[in-house]
Structure 1
């Protein structure tokens, strides 16, 4: 929100998902050589329940920063995608070194776990948090966005895009047809393509800086950006 505002836009924070830690006891890590996290929500859920000297392999720089802030001492970031995280594991770790603990949520992480298993790794997929829809009621949503033109909408995950479209009132959907949809990944862009936008653009890299680059010239304070 602060970064969008600093570019001269009026930012509207619109939560599409709610994350809730569900871990209530320490996770056994005997025989585990590293912990894999594909979301900062997993870091929050793990804090206090696993030793902070365990190696942590994070999906990207933002998740890595969150892990370090939580006290983890040995954190290595990948390039921002699950595929990049799998490549990092294959390049720097060996199946004989022990299991990999993938901290995730119900319905998430299966493709990553299977890809690594095909490479010979033993992957322990553990659900440490859960995701619920978090869109506000329609009347509150209309009030948050207001009546002015929306220039752009930023979507930082495919699931965010999916839940946003699923719970979007028809009248608000119609008002967003003139907005630019900025997607963090191809998958998010595919989901957004089920609705009419002025255009859909994908970030060059799956990170916040690349998303902000697509906002274009600063100084558009009279327009809104939904994030």
Structure 2
């Protein structure tokens, strides 16, 4: 929000998902050589429930920063995708050194598990948080967007895009025809294709900096403020 505002846009936070920690006790890590996290929500769930000196392999820089802020002292970041995280593991870790613990949510992480097990790693998948829809009621949504509509919308995950479209009122959906959707990945962009956006663009890399590059400075694109 601060970064968008600094570019001169009027930013509105529209929560599409709600994350809830479901890990309530210490998580056993005996025999585990490293913990894999593909979301900052997993970091929140693990903080104080696993030893802080456990090696943490994070999907990207933002998740790695969150892990360090939570007190983890041995944190390595991949390049922002599950595929990059798998490449990092294969390049720097050995299957014989112990299991890998993937901290995730129900319905998430299976592609990563499959890729690593195919490389000979033993992967223990543990659901430590869950994701639920978090979109506001239609009346609240209309009030948040306002009568001026939207100039641009940033989607930082495929699931965010899916829930946004699933709960979008018909009249608001029609208002997207003049808006530009900025997606963090090909998967998110594909989901957004179900709505009548003026344009859908994908970030060059799956991170906030690349998303903001596509947003640009207010006034340089078409002059009006974005929400």
Shorter chain as denominator, the TM-score bin is: over 0.9
Unpaired runs of at least 5, structure 2: none
Query: What are the Cα deviations for residues 28-85 of structure 1, in whole angstroms up to 9, with x where unaligned?
Result: 1000000000000000000010000000000000000000000000000000000000
Query: What are the Cα deviations for residues 125-153 of structure 1, in whole angstroms up to 9, with x where unaligned?
Result: 00000000000000000000001131100
Contact 1:61 1:78 in 2 (8 A): yes
| SS of aligned partner of 1:150 | coil
Rounded Cα–Cα distance in structure 1 between residues aligned with 2:20 and 2:38: 15
Larger RCO: 1 or 2 (CA < 8 Å, sep 6+): 1
- Residue in structure 1 matched with residue 107 of structure 2 by the alignment: 107
- Residue in structure 1 matched with residue 28 of structure 2 by the alignment: 28
Query: What are the Cα deviations for residues 117-174 of structure 1, in whole angstroms up to 9, with x where unaligned?
Result: 0000000000000000000000000000001131100000000000000000000000
Contact 1:10 1:222 in 2 (8 A): no
- Residue in structure 2 matched with residue 60 of structure 1 by the alignment: 60
1:118-197 superposed matches below 5 A: 118-197=118-197
Shift of residue 222, structure 1, vs aligned partner: 4.0
Rounded Cα–Cα distance in structure 2 between residues aligned with 1:201 and 1:219: 19
Rounded Cα–Cα distance in structure 1 between residues aligned with 2:203 and 2:128: 29
- Residue in structure 1 matched with residue 92 of structure 2 by the alignment: 92
Contact 1:149 1:223 in 2 (8 A): no
TM-score for the superposition, normalised by structure 2:
0.97
209, 223, 226: which one aligns with 2:225: 223
| SS of aligned partner of 2:120 | coil
Shift of residue 216, structure 1, vs aligned partner: 2.4
TM-score for the superposition, normalised by structure 1:
0.97
